[in-house]
A and B are shown apart, each in its own frame.
Chain A
Amino acid sequence: MIPAAFEYFRPTSVKEALALLDHYKDEAKLLAGGHSLIPLMKLRLAQPRYVIDLGRVRELEYIRESGDQLLIGAMTRHVAIETSDLLRQRCPLLAETASVIGDAQVRNMGTIGGSLVHADPAADYPAAILALEAEMRVVSSQGERWIRAEDFFVDMLTTSLQPGELLVEIKVPVLPPRTGTAYVKVAQKASGFALCGVAVVLTIDQNGVCQHAAVGITGVAPKAYRARAVEHALRGQKLDASVTAAASAKAAEGIDPLEDLHASAEYRAHLARVWCRRALEQARARV
């Protein structure tokens, strides 16, 4: 479990990190919290010649409010998101999701940006990021652009980031009144990764009619996805247990579930339906 040798750089600014990335290109890997990259390097599944450690790029560690948006720096650790009063009040879904990632030690090191760009199909954040319709700001020496959550995850371990680009910020909306959210998951016992994780954002008016529904599901398919059929079945409906149950039955519609040692495809699809219902019920109760 000894990683292959590499050359180490520790920039202190985004500008410096981009210059290194431009110089070493594909031979370089960016190191954030290291809880995805270092395990891969120990197994020698990743053998970068150059490692650019972002651990001292302090300008990427923040959580702040800007108008009706919340901005989170890519190097913000899970523990900071889990315990942020601002997020707990204004976007509890993200804090709740962070609180169940891995374990306490993992949350002390892992970062939101590192987790998102790794795009593990069983990671927790992608479900919440999709349900929140977050946007990701990426920069390169050429400039910057925003990527919508739905365009961000391309496939297993693959995002739409281009070579030379660095994820610097995640933007999530402050949720409107009468909105309830929830993230629930069935974890693989040893690793804590999601066999199935469901994030829900529900806005319900005074009469109990669903104005907005967004459902993100992780762990089930090669990439996290929006359960559009579920959302469609909820919108405009007066919500009760039978409506949410009927909608949840569509949670695995149109997807090709993963199958591995831990769960068959059929079981994963089953989990998606059951835990979608539970997430919806919990979000509804929190409105």
Chain B
Amino acid sequence: MTRTTIEVTINGVRYRHEVEPRLLLVHYIRDVVGLTGTHIGCETSLCGACTVLLNGAAVKSCTLFAVQADGAEITTIEGLGEEGRLHPIQEGFWMKHGLQCGYCTPGMILAAYQLLQRYPDPTEAQIRHGIEGNLCRCTGYQHIVEAVRYAAEKLRSQKA
């Protein structure tokens, strides 16, 4: 089968690869580019562990072919903060115990990122609706909701 050349920008770095059209975006990010912060959970578009930002919109990278993302700007969890300088959402998850095993966390944080872009001061209902596509089996969501609220306040105070 013919391979296709794609060019994507991930966390500000440009990549160019020849890929099989059937290669899923999540496998491209993890296995070809080597960024393993994006997790593979259910592989059935339900759990949201593989969530990344594609041109700013949260998508499930297990339900996208890498070729569809040709030309796109992608943000993964590695692109959000760095060692010793966490993004306010990451800090919120840290401060409010928004994770236990951590498996859902990268996807959860990127879903929260989009949510806070759309609703800088979200209600609890908006937070819960915004993370509907991300499953967590540890926390019961309560701490995640608190983490997102913490991040919202911090981001707003940074802007002010």
Give the B-binding residues of A (Cβ under 8 A): 1-8, 10, 31, 34-35, 38-39, 41-42, 51, 53, 55, 79, 102-106, 108-109, 190-192
Q: Contact at B65–A38, with CB atoms within 8 Å? A: yes
Q: Contact at A105–B1, with CB atoms within 8 Å? A: no
Q: Given A39-B45, A104-B130, A106-B133, are A34 and B57 neighbors across the interface (CB < 8 Å)?
A: no
Q: Using a CB-CB cutoff of 8 Å, which residues 37-75 of chain B contact chain A?
A: 43-46, 48, 51, 54, 57-60, 62-65, 67-68, 70
Most A-side CB within 10 Å, residue of B24, B65, B134: B65
Q: Given A103-B133, A104-B115, are A39 and B63 neighbors across the interface (CB < 8 Å)?
A: yes
Min distance, Cβ B66 to any Cβ of chain A, angstroms: 10
Q: Which residue of B lies closest to A2 (CB)?
A: B22
Instruction: For A109, list chain B residues within 8 Å (CB).
Output: 59-60, 63-64
How many A-B residue pairs have C-beta atoms within 8 angstroms? Tell me: 84
Q: Contact at A7–B63, with CB atoms within 8 Å? A: no
Instruction: For B9, list chain A residues within 8 Å (CB).
Output: none
A41 to B20, CA, bound (A): 15
A interface footprint on B92-126 (CB within 8 Å = 1, 0 otherwise):
00000000000000000001001100000000000
Instruction: For B1, list chain A residues within 8 Å (CB).
Output: 5-7
Q: Contact at B63–A35, with CB atoms within 8 Å? A: yes
A169 to B151, CA, bound (A): 41
Give the A-binding residues of B (Cβ under 8 A): 1-2, 4, 20-22, 24, 43-46, 48, 51, 54, 57-60, 62-65, 67-68, 70, 111, 114-115, 129-130, 132-134
A190 to B42, CA, bound (A): 11
Q: Given A34-B65, A105-B51, A109-B63, are A191 and B46 neighbors across the interface (CB < 8 Å)?
A: yes
Q: Which of A39, A55, A105 contacts B68 (CB 8 A)?
A: A55
Instruction: For A7, list chain B residues within 8 Å (CB).
Output: 1-2, 21
Instruction: For B54, list chain A residues within 8 Å (CB).
Output: 108
Min distance, Cβ B97 to any Cβ of chain A, angstroms: 24
Q: Contact at B22–A5, with CB atoms within 8 Å? A: yes
Min distance, Cβ A113 to any Cβ of chain B, angstroms: 16
Q: Which residue of A lies closest to B69 (CB)?
A: A55
A209 to B64, CA, bound (A): 49
Instruction: For B20, list chain A residues within 8 Å (CB).
Output: 5
A258 to B136, CA, bound (A): 30
Min distance, Cβ A40 to any Cβ of chain B, angstroms: 11
A-B contact pairs, 14 of them (CB 8 A): A2-B22, A3-B24, A6-B1, A6-B21, A7-B1, A10-B67, A31-B68, A35-B63, A42-B24, A53-B65, A53-B68, A103-B134, A104-B129, A105-B58
Q: Which of B22, B44, B130 contacts A39 (CB 8 A)?
A: B44
Instruction: For B114, list chain A residues within 8 Å (CB).
Output: 104
Min distance, Cβ A183 to any Cβ of chain B, angstroms: 16
Instruction: For B21, list chain A residues within 8 Å (CB).
Output: 5-8, 51
Min distance, Cβ B55 to any Cβ of chain A, angstroms: 10
Q: Which of A3, A104, A108, A192 contacts B22 (CB 8 A)?
A: A3
Q: Contact at B132–A192, with CB atoms within 8 Å? A: yes
A7 to B67, CA, bound (A): 11
Instruction: For B24, list chain A residues within 8 Å (CB).
Output: 2-3, 42
Min distance, Cβ A155 to any Cβ of chain B, angstroms: 24
Q: Contact at B22–A105, with CB atoms within 8 Å? A: no
Q: Contact at A108–B58, with CB atoms within 8 Å? A: yes
Q: Contact at B45–A8, with CB atoms within 8 Å? A: no
Most A-side CB within 10 Å, residue of B22, B58, B64, B67: B22
Q: Which residue of B lies closest to A4 (CB)?
A: B22
A35 to B44, CA, bound (A): 10
Q: Contact at A6–B59, with CB atoms within 8 Å? A: no
A4 to B21, CA, bound (A): 10
Instruction: For A31, list chain B residues within 8 Å (CB).
Output: 65, 68
Min distance, Cβ B63 to any Cβ of chain A, angstroms: 5
Q: Contact at A8–B67, with CB atoms within 8 Å? A: yes
Q: Contact at B4–A105, with CB atoms within 8 Å? A: no
A190 to B59, CA, bound (A): 17
Min distance, Cβ B79 to any Cβ of chain A, angstroms: 17
Q: Contact at B48–A105, with CB atoms within 8 Å? A: yes
Given A3-B24, A39-B45, 20 more pairs with CB closer than 8 A? A1-B62, A2-B22, A5-B20, A5-B21, A5-B22, A8-B65, A31-B68, A34-B64, A38-B45, A38-B64, A39-B44, A55-B68, A103-B133, A103-B134, A104-B114, A104-B130, A104-B133, A105-B51, A106-B60, A108-B59
